[in-house]
A and B are shown apart, each in its own frame.
Chain A
Amino acid sequence: MNSQITKLSLVALLLLASLIVATTYWQAWAAPGLAAKQDNQIQRVAQFRIKRGLILASNGLVLATNVRRKVGGETLYFRRYPTHGLASQTVGYSTQGRSRAGIERSQNSYLTASNANLGTIFDKLGDTLKGTTITGNNVVLNLRPNAQKIAETALAGKCGAAVVLNPKTGQIYVMASSPGYDPNKIESNTGYASILHSPKACPGSVSPLYNRATQGLYPPGSTFKTVTAAAALDSGQVTPLSPFYDPGYCIEYGQKVSNAGNPEAPEAFGHVDFLQAYEHSINAVFCNVGMKLGAKKIIDQAKKFGFYSTPPVELPSGELAASGEYDFTKHSLFDDPGRADPGRLAFGQDKLLATPLQMALVAAAVANKGTIMEPHLVKAVRSPSGGTVLKVKPRVWRTAMKPSTAADLNTMMQAVVTGGTGTSAQIPGVLVAGKTGTAETGVDRVYDAWFIFFAPADDPVVAGAVVVEQSPDGFGGAVAAPIAKQLMQAILPPTSK
């Protein structure tokens, strides 16, 4: 019988050996695929054992913290947002059921101490060996809570966004998107539903979860004249003193393109120079300048300002949109000048869409002598013990135009506030520069109201953009500029009265 027993042993051992092969398949080969499965909760649960790092505003105000709860004999950490929604879309959320968004998502590896930094690795190894809870790194943002609060209060009940940053460093002081939400409610189904169906300030618009400051695409309207003017000035074909004649309209493709206001009896300025055309936002002049420059030059100039790309700000790529000419049927960018209408493009209509962040960077470029700094939400990352893991330093992102062009535009933007369309942004004792925008939305007499700005114009420390969606009769100068004024006042040091 021994020969049969030997064969049977072989069969038995092969059966068991096949188990090692199958285990290897699941643990080595199939593991990454299974880890990514939607219904695999293990990875997600494991994250809750980590005491996530805090998210702090620049003054130390805690925007995201943890509550400890014992579940099944294990200590788990759940997220808590003590401000109940200050900068909600920017800070984002970290939940079990709905994953993550905002800084919570983009900075997840720092917040969970899984970033590959030597100090972090040792700290984490120590935690693991001691069997203590892994504690994440704290992320400190550049946000200024007082200014952020002012933006959110001013935008409350409306739909819109505001971005304020330091043009010299790229530090983002304010990133507001209205309506906001309370991230503490995200996890529960009823809370989530209440956020999605929260009072609609702007009917037919997208949910409060959407970060309008970086994802919201609006026709920039006349604020875009800044880009057109930069192209014209940079080309040397136009100076601020170049003369133009405004009959109240321009003729493009044999059709009249009228100035803003009543199309039947458009305002006509007659003989003006380029500065005045910008100051009073005369569409007819810019229409002619656009046709003279051609769409290609304007689009190329826009690219220098960062259009057609997403700014390197610390948000998940899915929460950043690129600005530019959009094919509305395909929802995709195009940069073929042949498909653009140069006259309308020149004053920011045509098929042009821009995010508030992008328009803030246009203002910042003028403020910083033509150079755009990388916009940064994150100021620093600190280890739980207080050591510095990362300190964000100012870095040049793009050169948008010649310094001389920036100087000319600076003067022109000051004129807008001193005697043009943006007088409501005036601050006593401070040189304010700005540009209004009143973009057609397709609905008669309902506009997206814009204002882009910086101050003090001779030594700028603050720049930004404000947009208020779908304002009935809402001109940029009347609706958006006063909000911009409040934001500048909140940031500017109290000495500059």
Chain B
Amino acid sequence: MGPGPLTLGNRNRELLYLGAVGVLTGLGFASVYIARQAVVSWGSLGYALFFFGLYIAAHIVTRIAVPDADPYLLPIAGLLTAVGVTEIYRLGNADAFKQGLWIVVGVGLFAATLLALRHDYRVLEQYKYLFGIAAIALLFLPRVPGLGETVNGARLWVKLGPIEFQPGEFSKIFLIVFLAAYLREKREVLAQGRLKDLGPLLLIWGATMLVLVSSNDLGSGLLYYGIFLAMLYVATARLWYVLVGAVLFLAGGYVAYDRIAHVRDRVTIWLHPWTTGKVYCPQTGGLALRQDCQSYQLVKSLYSIANGGFGGAGLGKGTFTTTDGHQLIPYVTSDFIYSALAQELGLVGVSALLLVFMLFVARGMKVALQADDGFSKLLAAGLTFGFALQTFIIVGGVLREIPLTGITLPFVSYGGSSVVANFLLLAGLLLVSDRANAER
């Protein structure tokens, strides 16, 4: 697939697509500027220029480190972060600036990873148990006294001086690396169904689930479970593993529903967000309509989505505050960024956005298909499926397809750890892709 006289090489394609993304970002910021003249300054276009520069820098690193890697993945990630940061900027300038800084950190770590592992990332395989243990350790971090912070009923944050982050986001990637390495090694014996070999796997996985469920992080629990089953299936081709896993999940879910109030609440909110009569409201201890209490967020978010209609209100033209200045949807920039986008971009806009997510997944899976060795295949498939499943869990939750659990929308949501971790994920896919393409 070398560059012919009339065909573009992978990196030149990437540059071309990045140019298109740069133009789109500029248009996005410009339309926010026009819609909200009174609030936003011309300086906002500086954001667009700055991001364009940042991605050009990332592109130069890919030229050096992964010259043969897939040309779509980086521009898609760029587009998604641009959509996210534009919407966050529209919702509040200060957050957009912070998000911008985190994107810089993410791109920095992305570059460092590519450069460090450009010769052979497969060295990671040797440290699989280290990754497995690190994954659990990271999940435990927020529980260390003096370090952890409880936000919104879940203890998921670590505070180090001025920097706050969610170690769970990194734990996910470490766990995928561990699973890829372990499953590559044991896939034949596992396929024969020797339970003994499942031991270390179940140990690390079980510990992970325990931490997640006990810290009320149900969204991540579902995500890890899904990634685990998917990678087990890819490694062993045994569908019954998946079936047993699904049965266990349903059983576990039922027990959790029965025993854990938090889980029960989520399901109730999902099934019956509106009530006509007043019901018990745990937040106040009194009686209230459920849409005014527990399902407030979900219901307000659905109103926002519905208000978008076919064409949307237009970037910068949506309604997110009441006439006395209160925020209509709490956590609109992180968990509910999709409902903000749905209102402003409409069905046309968010469908296009979801197609971009699908394109990323399709390219990621193609990388897995093209890879030559088992570790690379499992790594690429795991990372890509994790990306897809995370998108499904949060957007599906917001759309009431499944019970809502708060996790971030990859690349788009406000949240430093999420952005940085997703750039690591991107780096992983590019490394696998480069190796697969270079060998051809």
Contacts and interface: CB of A to CB of B under 8 A. Distances in A.
Contacts of B322: 41, 45, 96
A8 B307 contact: no
A19 B305 CA distance: 13
A45 B306 contact: no
B400 interface: yes
Interface string A7-50: 01101110111111011111110110011010111111110100
Given A42-B319, A131-B34, A131-B35, A5 B369 contact: yes
Interface string B323-364: 111001000000000000011001100110011011001100
Given A23-B354, A28-B310, A42-B307, A15 B388 contact: yes
A71 B358 contact: no
A43 B362 CA distance: 38
Determine the main DSSP class of B at the interface with A: helix
A71 B346 contact: no
Interface in B4-57: 34-39
B171 interface: no
B306 A27 contact: yes
B233 A45 contact: no
Given A4-B234, A19-B392, A19-B396, A12 B342 contact: no
B399 interface: yes
Interface stretch (A73-81, A248-256, A337-345): A73-81
Interface residues of B, number: 62
B74 interface: no
A298 B326 CA distance: 59
B230 interface: yes
Contact of A2 (B230, B305, B369): B369
Given A12-B365, A12-B385, A19-B401, A42 B305 contact: no
Interface stretch (B137-145, B201-209, B296-304): B296-304
A72 interface: yes
Contact of B347 (A3, A27, A37, A76): A27
A20 B351 contact: yes
Nearest to A73: B39
A26 B351 CA distance: 13
Contact of A20 (B328, B346, B354): B354
B321 interface: yes
Interface in B154-209: none
B328 A41 contact: yes
A18 B365 contact: no
Contact of A26 (B305, B358, B368): B305
Contacts of B321: 45, 71-72, 74
Interface in B375-410: 377-378, 381, 384-385, 388-389, 391-392, 395-396, 399-401
B76 interface: no
A443 interface: no
Contacts of A15: 388-389, 392, 396
Nearest to B313: A46
A265 interface: no
B374 interface: yes
Looking at A2, A5, A25, A40, the one whose CB has the most chain B CB atoms below 10 A away is A5
Given A41-B322, A41-B328, A23 B305 contact: yes
B291 interface: yes
Contact of B384 (A3, A12, A22): A12
B351 A8 contact: no
Contacts of B235: 1, 4
A43 B368 contact: no
A8 B381 contact: yes
A6 interface: yes
B6 to A, nearest CB: 30
A9 B365 contact: yes
Contacts of B391: 16, 19
B248 interface: no
A31 B368 contact: no
B95 interface: no
Contact of B309 (A5, A18, A25, A27): A27
Nearest to B374: A1
Contacts of B385: 8, 12
Contact of B399 (A23, A41, A43, A44): A23
Contact of A31 (B309, B328, B365, B399): B309
Given A5-B377, A45-B321, A73 B38 contact: yes
Given A5-B368, A5-B381, A40 B323 contact: no
B306 A35 contact: yes
A27 B308 contact: yes
Nearest to A35: B306
B255 interface: no
A16 B351 contact: no
Given A71-B323, A71-B325, A131-B37, A9 B362 contact: yes
A23 B351 contact: yes
A73 B93 CA distance: 11
B401 to A, nearest CB: 5
Contact of B369 (A6, A30, A72, A131): A6
Nearest to B366: A9
B64 interface: no
A5 to B, nearest CB: 5
A9 B383 CA distance: 12
A18 B343 CA distance: 19
A2 B370 CA distance: 9
A34 B274 CA distance: 11
A18 B351 CA distance: 11
A35 B307 contact: yes
A31 B307 contact: yes
Contacts of A9: 361-362, 365, 384
Contacts of B36: 73
Contacts of A26: 302, 305-306, 342, 399
A27 B354 CA distance: 15
Contacts of A48: 323
Contacts of B274: 37
B292 interface: yes
Nearest to B326: A72
A37 B346 CA distance: 20
Contacts of B302: 26, 30, 34
29 contacts: A1-B374, A4-B235, A5-B368, A6-B365, A8-B381, A8-B385, A15-B389, A16-B361, A17-B354, A18-B401, A19-B392, A19-B396, A27-B347, A28-B309, A31-B309, A35-B307, A41-B319, A42-B303, A42-B307, A42-B319, A42-B328, A45-B319, A45-B321, A45-B328, A71-B323, A78-B323, A96-B322, A131-B34, A131-B37
Interface of A: 1-6, 8-9, 11-13, 15-20, 22-28, 30-31, 34-35, 37, 39-46, 48, 71-76, 78, 96, 131
Given A8-B233, A48-B323, A71-B324, 8 more contacts: A4-B233, A5-B365, A5-B381, A8-B230, A26-B399, A27-B306, A35-B306, A46-B319
When A and B form their complex, which 9 residue pairs have the shortest distance between CB atoms, in order from nearest?
Answer: A12-B388, A9-B365, A22-B399, A34-B306, A31-B306, A72-B321, A15-B392, A73-B39, A72-B325
